[in-house]
Structure 1
């Protein structure tokens, strides 16, 4: 939307901006800017004098309020220049006459319905952020925020409807920004599911439900439950209505079904309804999908009904999946009416538990939508008038094995061989295997699903072993139902059937991994298999049964939620829950201690990934663990997370330190040292020092050397942030004398303190010593960062390669702390070398990063340095606002001229930026906005600089 040619433009979707005749006009003073915003938003009705006065001075009304208002109006007319006549005096007030689109909020509203992308582009930051202290404008801001959210949702909706798979990243960001907004949450769930990430979609839905209940006490609408059902059934809509839809062909070979396939295709050409029936595992779904994949007479859509657990939800599932426009609750006739002009093959898969509802729906479609063909799969017929039923039979089982070539031509044998080749290329039937194969096929009754499961096992064992295992693993692959009610027949019975296909070794392993919410790796599977056969063979069986989901990229295996719930029930029924939970906790203790022992070594990158992968398991284990195991898990991983953005684990130590049950624990010193580290990470320097001193006393008393080292490090960090660099250097060197695994980092930190204290020679000596002690990527990246800090004050351009190296190595090993501080310094160095746009982009990212990790001290160090950039770009007022806020924030690192001269920290005397009168106004503004508001403003301005690198100097304000 090009608004540049408009005579007058007022922009409120971001910081307030005025353009007259195409040129920007600076409007100084909070009150005058607020007046402009109020009149622009009031529209043609304008505002009365009384309302304007109340809005501009809501709390402290001046004695000459009306005169002050008239003065501001007069000056505002001056800013409007040739458009001054637009600011009109009404009978008892004023109005600003704006034409369509001259107010960006008006333009956004006009564009929102037709072109939401264009509307969204009008936002430059938080609407009216500078006026949130004025109730009248705060209300307007909230309305504009809601409009923005609606536009964001509409953009996401349209991208989803268009089949844009890249929408997921933006949907995640939108949901993070509005965590309690249901429509946004629904869009995120849809986006994840459409991207093939159904498990993440279900997790996002469950997380929203829990968060809404916890923070508001409310439940989501039924739309969330409906969407969850569709995700579970695999029927979430992808492309937009009217776009050609293609059905993916099922994996694996289609053997022995050519006659059945030809019959179904012929019948679909002659009949509007065809139903495939037969026992579970006979291949109804596979055949139907294969037919739908080749359908070329209009669209083809698959609606999986396995997770649609109530008949009344069937029509809504069809409406949602097809993107139909149906008002209110959808019934069969509504669906049929919406499909009246469509040419469509509708595959309804797994209808048996919804037979009555499916019958009603198909009857309505058959009556009203002649262009729709229905192909249904069901264990029972639907009894629809005109329904043609094709009953699939198991594949014929060979009787003799003497003629190998004839045997190979048998459908069951060909299916077995083709499925085996799918997992083991080059596999062929040997003469000596023929008797075993015939026996396998016989005992499986020729069911294609059973054949496929058995064939997959030949990738890990000989056919004779498959036959030997068959009695335990595959003899129940007959589709028998094991429950009575409809819901169990679709979820529980399906899982139960797969579960009963397994031998007791596989079942036991499944039950053993059931307590692991975060999944398992091969090492864990080997640990909990308890000697029941080859764990890798068992693992292969479980993955191939689809009860265990493999992630080849990470080498981890996880249970679907429903499968895990089923297995937990089996644990309880078998009386194994207590033992399984105990083994789970023991395994998590072992994993945590493996991570803690090795993460400062050559395997840091691997162990970092393991730590992040195991977080859900470690959390659950701490909830189940006794006191000893809780302490072991917490202390094992605590030192590693000092370098990582895993704030949840920081809090574990604080919980132990505050729990009276651990007041006399033998590891009390280590608990206190870890809790001290946690306190300093979140910027509570007083608590950090207090706990560190207590840890030193307890460690000295109990002889806990490792705790001494950790505690001295915290003492050093606190001194460092407070500007006492000599004390920080000495404390770090004292900590390096203890066996804590962080000696290189401690000595490197001492080098940094020496440099900041103005002693470059000592810093160089200590840095060389630290390099000789480095054992892992975190330490090496930190030392590269320190090298950059030694150079940045006097040679900023030379420091940049060291920061880049630090960031690269830190990123490789997951050391987010060093990555973050290096990016701060890199941005500051770029500021000093004149790269305003690059620095602004870095700072905007970093402010968000530190806010998300909760590291207050690093956050405000970054903000101070960003203020230097704002000042360099001519935004002195904004820079002063940030500095004033940083000075008032507990936990912010100390800085003065001397500290800044030897370090990457920025020091700008705020009094050098503004006149005293303006500075007082900034202090008042800081009090109104608070730290959160100031940071929001900072990010907004940084983003402006990142996209508009030309420096802009602010005009001096008039203090109004």
Structure 2
């Protein structure tokens, strides 16, 4: 249906006679009005308020559509930034919420913060969609036809244009738009039915327009038939019924419901004709010409292909030759048939030539001749077919071209030369490389990243497809009763491939979803359950992948198998290394050419921005089976382990230098491979890989939010196999740093002392730098600043990366100890060394320390240093420095009296530290935030926060002396709460969990922020 130019339903343009609408709400008197049935509009107390900016308008739409429910911050971030949220997404969200409150003016309190989300409180009818739904419900309450017609008109008049049209790039709102359009169509039908029930004449034109707008909607088509019969046009009514029967069979592959046959019988018997029928009028609805087309079977719902469909249609209308490419099972045929079945787009009669069963290239032309019914003698050539179609205006769909691509290319090029009116849409797992060809490559459907927001699942195309397929076999399937973790794993392991989703979804007819997940190892061999499928290659995922695999040369197959152990994909350097290791016996003359071929046949996906190549999960499973069958698995896994170790060492060597930004991206891209390498290394006894990867990445992980890498060190330190290993001292030292990072200071000190003991009296500086650094950190957090400074200076002697970062740490401790002159000397020594290293993380940390040295004497100057540190740290990917500098910045803003800005910062930081697991930083921030809350007069919450912080084992020490020389804040609980209330406050602190107290503190901080 073309939604682009509709402003009013055709049904609502006639018969404006008014009847009182008892269910209607007088929206003109409402204090707040949000209108989404057309361009978004906001009215506050009768005045229209402009809401600028796509994201702010999206925020308002998401909150309004939630119908008074709390919308989580993560869900709002996904809606505002559907492609890639910024690093400061939460803070940016706060900013948009704050500005939206400003637009609400005197009704700003309607936008409420609840826990981790927001709620927009709307009264009945204040949202136009709510008003439309209420009117629609009233129509179904058995109202008299005249009253129902009036309600229908009132509901449809709420539409000012296509609903939510401006938000089509937001997946959740795109889904909502479909539901809203369904409501509008239902209201159109309700109004037609009510008008028919009143005996109103002259509605045939309106019913014909409604049918044209929704040609496969059965209720609308039946109402049109009834309208024709009611005017005595029996022949036209029967023709309209037959037209609908043909459309639903040819274009949807379905059989009409029994209601159509019953209506046809009534029309034929004259049961619906008027009492005194006039002679039938001439038909005003011509029967469309017959279109040659393969019968389009319903192969499941077409979900999530709106953009690709629009792009293909656009290209066909301007260029005439388009290939839909993509891996087997991605839905190429389904999309091409949907386009071919549409009588409006691309506006040509269509014929579908299925080449799946054509086993030899020379038979392609004959298949086309037979399907089109061309009168050509003998073995027709491509040029002869083009000549026969020289005057035709036609869309030819060549389905499944990959195994006869050369013949298909010759045919397409001949049509381009000799049949200007013929457009060609080909589907193939590889492009045809034809002259004038435009390629649209279908990607798998979008899959949820995790199960943390089940309410937002239906925004993802893969989820919607799964539900639709499941309900085709089990109509009562309810997503709300399914375990979200099960569903996420199923969809992720099927890579969002529509065919795989269909295969898995059909299993829920006979087993729970958790059993489907447990049987995913057999997913390659699940059958479709459709014995009449034309293409044998589509019966199972294994057959689908194997048919593409067999198109490859032996060398290409070998390279593809060699990449199978890499779950995180590979960059070009890894592909070249793997190809080189395969040796001369395998013909991979040019790995780059081989890559192009593997991507072209859709067995390997390429990300041109990151330069990585990845196998879909299902393709990888197929290739691992092939490795096992051929006896190549052990060698492939050894090659994989060697490569992962090489990459980890290279990343670790370069990440703390001038290449930090690129290496940070490389590290994150390789994490899936490193995880898998650790698992494989255990099974193959490759301790060198376990230890090597852990130590190589340890220093880079200190500065980043990579808890998983910290856990690797802790896990390895407890492994009995480590005893006596040549790198045992280094691993235990790294584990001590990991314990410190998660806030377990006692364990950190124990591990550091164990490492020093293992090193013995003849320890080298390289062995000692990690445990000395850990002991320095523990001393710093516990307030022993002189010892911390001494240990940090000593730790720098054995570091592999030459830099002044640990001098900067020593300067920080010295400043906190009150010796600012010595601190300045240490930091001045650190700066040139850091500049020579070129490390962005260390430079950002030094800028933060510079701010700390100025914090107590010149907070305004310190703010500039902190902002510089945050900017540099974000460029380098150094989340740790972003966090600590932001804490200091918020504290400085508090000192300068900017409480709203500081409160916003503290609220965001509490979220950050909780999410990333930095316990020590969390409770340092909490204590500083308590100082702000106390200054804002929120003493009880401040006291609760301090009491909970005081009992946390990972909290840094703070007292009046420490606070005097640092950005840490010291507030005494006794100064906050009167003596007579202290007992009840302590009892409340004991009763609440730490998380509950933090939630209360965040709410109070946001209140201070306004």
- For residue 897 of structure 1, what is the aligned residue in structure 2? 960
> Which residue of structure 2 lines up, in the alignment, with residue 843 of structure 1?
906
Q: Is the 8 A contact 2:571 2:611 kept in 1?
A: yes
The question of whether the paired residues in 2 share the 8 Å contact of 1:737 and 1:743 is answered with no
Residues 689 and 718, structure 1, Cα contact 8 Å, conserved in 2: yes
Which position in structure 2 is the counterpart of 1:744? 804
The aligned residue for residue 90 of structure 1 is none
Structure 1 residues 434-488: Cα deviation after superposition (integer angstroms, max 9, x where no partner): 9xxxxxxxxxxx99959944569999xxxxxxxxxxxxxxxxxxxxxx9996577
Cα deviation code 1:739-764 (max 9, x no counterpart): 33264221110000000000011111
Q: 8 Å contact 2:736–2:774 — kept in the other structure?
A: yes
Q: Are 1:524 and 1:587, in contact at CA under 8 Å, matched by a contact in 2?
A: yes
Taking only aligned residues, the RMSD between alpha carbons, in angstroms, comes to 5.2
1:757 equivalent in alignment to 2:817: yes
Cα separation, partners in 2 of 1:720 and 1:546, compared to 1, 3 Å: same
Q: Secondary structure at the match of 2:294?
A: strand
Q: Mean alpha-carbon deviation: is it higher for 447-456 or for 742-751?
A: 447-456
Checking the alignment, whether the CA contact within 8 Å between 2:704 and 2:878 is kept in structure 1 is: yes
Corresponding residue number in structure 1 for 2:142: none
The structure-2 alpha-carbon separation of the partners of 1:484 and 1:882, relative to structure 1 and needing over 3 Å to count, comes to closer
Counterparts of 1:712-727 in structure 2, within 5 Å, are: 712-727=772-787
State the shift of 1:876 in Å.
Answer: 1.3
Give the match for residue 18 of structure 1.
none
Correspondence 1:940-955 to 2 at 5 A: 940-946=1003-1009, 948=1010
Q: Secondary structure at the match of 1:766?
A: helix
Partner of 2:19: none
* 1:275 and 2:294 aligned: yes
Deviation at 1:595? 1.1
CA contact (8 A) 2:70 2:117 kept: no
2:757 maps to what in 1?
697
State whether structure 2 residue 518 is matched by structure 1 residue 527: no
Shift of 1:725: 0.2
**Aligned residue in 2 for 1:80:** none
Q: CA deviation at 1:113?
A: 14
| 1:571-590 equivalent positions in 2, closer than 5 A | 571-590=627-646
8 A Cα contact 1:797 1:829, kept in partner: yes
Residues 346 and 375 in structure 1, CA contact (< 8 A), matched pair in contact too: no
Q: Does 1:870 align with 2:933?
A: yes
Are positions 1:508 and 2:568 aligned together? Answer: no
Q: For 1:451 and 1:698, how far apart are their aligned partners in 2? A: 59
**By how many angstroms is 1:940 displaced?**
1.5
**Distance in 2 (alpha carbons) for counterparts of 1:645 and 1:456:** 49
Which structure 2 residues correspond to residues 323-338 of structure 1 after superposition, within 5 A?
none
1:377 Cα offset (Å): 7.1
Q: How does 1:509-908 map to 2 (within 5 A)?
A: 509-530=559-580, 532-625=588-681, 626-701=686-761, 703-741=763-801, 743-774=803-834, 775=837, 776-908=839-971
Correspondence for 1:347 among 327, 335, 338: 338
- Say which SS state the counterpart of residue 666 (structure 2) adopts: helix
1:112-191 aligned at under 5 Å gives the runs: 116-117=65-66, 119-120=68-69, 164=167, 167=170
* TM-score, scaled relative to structure 1: 0.55
> Over residues 45-89 of structure 1, what are the superposed CA-to-partner deviations in whole Å (9 max), with x where a residue is unaligned?
xxxxxxxxxxxxxxxxxxxxxxxxxxxxxxxxxxxxxxxxxxxxx
CA distance in 1, matches of 2:986, 2:808: 38
- Give the whole-Å Cα distance in 1 for the aligned partners of 2:951 and 2:73: 28
Matched, 1:499 2:549: yes
Partner of 2:17: none
Contact 1:700 1:708 in 2 (8 A): no
Alpha carbons of 1:391 and 1:677: their partners in 2 closer, same or farther (altered >3 Å)? farther
In structure 2, the residue corresponding to 1:769 is in which secondary structure?
helix
CA contact (8 A) 1:751 1:767 kept: yes
**CA distance in structure 1 between the partners assigned to 2:638 and 2:964 by the alignment:** 56
TM-score by length of 2: 0.53
C-alpha distance after superposition, 1:161-217 (max 9, x if no partner): 86835646x99xxxxxxxxxxxxxx999x99xxxxxxxxxxxxxxxxxxxxxxxxxx
Cα offset for 1:521?
Answer: 0.9
* Distance in 1, Cα, partners of 2:352 & 2:434: 28
State the 1:562 CA deviation.
2.1
Q: Distance in 1 between matches of 2:164 and 2:621?
A: 33
1:926 counterpart residue number:
989
Distance 1:802 1:287 in 2: 51
CA gap 1:653/1:308 in 2 versus in 1, 3 angstroms: closer
Once the 2 structures are TM-superposed, how far is the Cα of residue 833 of structure 1 from its aligned partner? 1.2
Q: Deviations over 1:904-937 (max 9, x none)?
A: 1111111111112222222111111121111111
Within a 5 Å distance, the mapping from 1:160-559 to structure 2 comes to 164=167, 167=170, 269-271=288-290, 274-275=293-294, 307=329, 347=338, 390=372, 396=381, 452-453=431-432, 489-490=537-538, 491-530=541-580, 532-559=588-615
Shift in alpha-carbon separation, 1:668–1:909, aligned structure 2, 3 A: same
Question: Structure 1 residues 837, 187: closer, same or farther in 2, change over 3 A?
Answer: farther
1:496 Cα deviation after fit? 2.4
User: How many equivalent residue pairs?
Assistant: 602
8 Å contact 1:347–1:374 — kept in the other structure? no
Tell me if the contact between 2:309 and 2:339 (Cα under 8 Å) persists in the aligned partners. Answer: no
Q: List alignment gaps of at least 5 residues for structure 2.
A: 1-24, 31-59, 75-113, 131-161, 180-211, 217-250, 252-285, 298-304, 319-323, 344-348, 358-369, 385-396, 402-409, 414-424, 439-523, 530-535
Q: Does the Cα contact within 8 Å between 1:275 and 1:390 map onto a contact in 2?
A: no
CA deviations over 1:850-885 (Å, ceiling 9, x no partner): 111111000001111111111121111111111111
* Residues 712 and 764 (structure 1), Cα distance of their counterparts in 2 relative to 1, 3 Å cut: same
> How do residues 100-111 of structure 1 correspond to structure 2 at under 5 angstroms?
none
Contact 2:788 2:813 in 1 (8 A): yes
Question: 1:781 Cα deviation (Å)?
Answer: 0.5
Q: Structure 1 pair 860/636, CA: closer, same or farther in 2 (3 Å)? A: same
